[in-house]
Structure 1
Amino acid sequence: MKKLILGGVTAAVLMALSSAAMANFVEGKDYTVVQNPGKVEVAGKLEVREFFWYGCGHCFSLEPHMQAWLKKIPKDVNFVRTPAAMNKVWEQNARGYYVSEALGVRKRTHLPLFHAIHDNGQQIFDQKSQAKFFTKYGIPEAKFNSLYNSFAITAKVAQANKLAQQYQLTGVPAVVVNGKYVVQGDDGKVVKVVEYLLNKERKAK
């Protein structure tokens, strides 16, 4: 009986310590507050938006942590992945991302593209190299190229840039919580800060 009581006390203490640790996340150190908050895409849901670039080593390091979190994402949260297009090189990969999305292969190509670049050293950054990469997933180069500079893809890239400017991003990875907070980093702490901010938003409702 004593062991059970002690076990319960230990669990309670650990939970209290965990909550205390989460409460220690502070503005300006662990996250920043957006001066001009953005609107969420799905009304009634909290939003987590990740800005990334396929060539970014820090984005690649963060990806496993985000993938693990996505497997247990709360039902009241909508996750949005946004390819950063803040310079000409990044824009080329952003266009490729949106083409893969338009052609329905994004879920199958997202991680393989990351690994091809960072594990295999492949330089898949321009239109030609991306078109070749996507042929492995049944997308003819001509089809990829026909969409790459299309109005629809250009509009999505413009929207991604508009959001990056609104959130005053200077680099990636950057995770924006509910259009109000920006969390940066490349390890598991990012997810913990995101969860802390989501709880903060839930309490504010």
Structure 2
Amino acid sequence: MRNLRFALAAATLALGVAASPAFASVTAPVSGVEYTTLAAPQAVPAGKKVEVIEFFMYHCPHCNALEPQLSEWVKKQGDNIVLKRVHFPSTGPNDPEAHLYLTLEAMGKLPEFHARVFRAVHVERVRLNSDEAVLNWAVKSGLDRAKFLDAWNSFGVQTKMKRLGAMITAYKVEFAPVLIIDGKYMTAPSLVAASDKTRDEQQLFRSTLQVADFLVAKAAKTK
């Protein structure tokens, strides 16, 4: 995962470059600058809504910092989009955090626990870096041990775990956080940072979501 660590480090360093005005809505984002156009677009669900995929990691500080703004952005987009989250398997096909996310999803517990996992990692300093650590945290957090293990070991969750690698390859994702719009476009704070050299991370996130606004509108025109 050397490329992943390098990309995240580059994004962090970019935040420290001399400040300039925030990404200007007057100028349309440019492919190859604030976003990239996938060479091999991926299939998306039929319908009027634009699919938005967030590739994230629970232990990623940038993903944690982005989450409040992203949640508000999703609310503002409303029926324009359908959001799908994919936990980047940073430690490989058996990544414990990715497994936790898919297990919570299978249990219908994400609305209640998604933010709690971020808090556990970044505020309470819980390390969810092994299956045992994840199970212990889940039980201590009030989840039924037997039900959690049933979902953890279920065919559906195991199948989705095996598909993660193929998804990463298909979308050419090497770091997080990343947003994929309509299976065609990729944007990320680390991309936007190259043209929006602000020192303020929250402003960089706002600029990134402005790019996402542009891409959602662009994709909607072809629906």
Structure 1 stretch displaced more, 129-138 or 28-37: 129-138
Q: Which of 63, 73, 76 is 1:72 aligned to?
A: 76
Larger radius of gyration: 1
Matched with 1:33 is: 37
Q: 1:40·1:178 contact (CA, 8 Å) conserved in 2?
A: yes
Structure 1 stretch displaced more, 84-93 or 184-193: 84-93
Using CA pairs below 8 Å that are at least 6 residues apart, which structure has the higher relative contact order? 2
Tell me how far apart the structure 1 counterparts of residues 135 and 46 of structure 2 sit (CA, whole Å).
32
Matched with 2:139 is: 135
Deviation at residue 44 of structure 1 after TM alignment: 3.1
Stretches of 4+ aligned residues off by more than 6 angstroms: none
Deviation at residue 124 of structure 1 after TM alignment: 1.9
Tell me the amino acid that sits aligned with residue 194 of structure 1: A
Structure 1 stretch displaced more, 98-107 or 170-179: 98-107
Matched with 1:44 is: 48
Tell me how far apart the structure 2 counterparts of residues 107 and 171 of structure 1 sit (CA, whole Å).
24
Alignment of 1:1-205 (within 5 A): 19-21=25-27, 23=28, 25-88=29-92, 91-185=95-189, 187-205=205-223
Deviation at residue 137 of structure 1 after TM alignment: 4.8
Q: 1:125 to 1:42 in 2, by over 3 A?
A: farther
Q: Report the structure, 1 or 2, having the larger helix content.
A: 1
Deviation at residue 31 of structure 1 after TM alignment: 0.7
Deviation at residue 169 of structure 1 after TM alignment: 0.7
User: Percent identity, aligned pairs only?
Assistant: 28
- Report the TM-score when normalising by structure 1: 0.82
Tell me the amino acid that sits aligned with residue 20 of structure 1: V
Q: 1:42·1:78 contact (CA, 8 Å) conserved in 2?
A: no
For structure 1, the residue ranges without an aligned partner over 5 or more in a row are 1-17
Please give the per-residue CA displacement for 1:118-151, whole angstroms capped at 9, x wherever unaligned. 1221112322222222224542223323332432
Structure 1 stretch displaced more, 183-192 or 59-68: 183-192
Q: 2:38·2:185 contact (CA, 8 Å) conserved in 1?
A: yes
- Report the TM-score when normalising by structure 2: 0.76
For structure 2, the residue ranges without an aligned partner over 5 or more in a row are 1-23, 190-203
Q: 2:64·2:118 contact (CA, 8 Å) conserved in 1?
A: yes
- Superposition RMSD on alpha carbons, in Å? 2.2
Q: 1:42 to 1:119 in 2, by over 3 A?
A: farther
Tell me the amino acid that sits aligned with residue 34 of structure 1: L
Structure 1 stretch displaced more, 36-45 or 162-171: 36-45
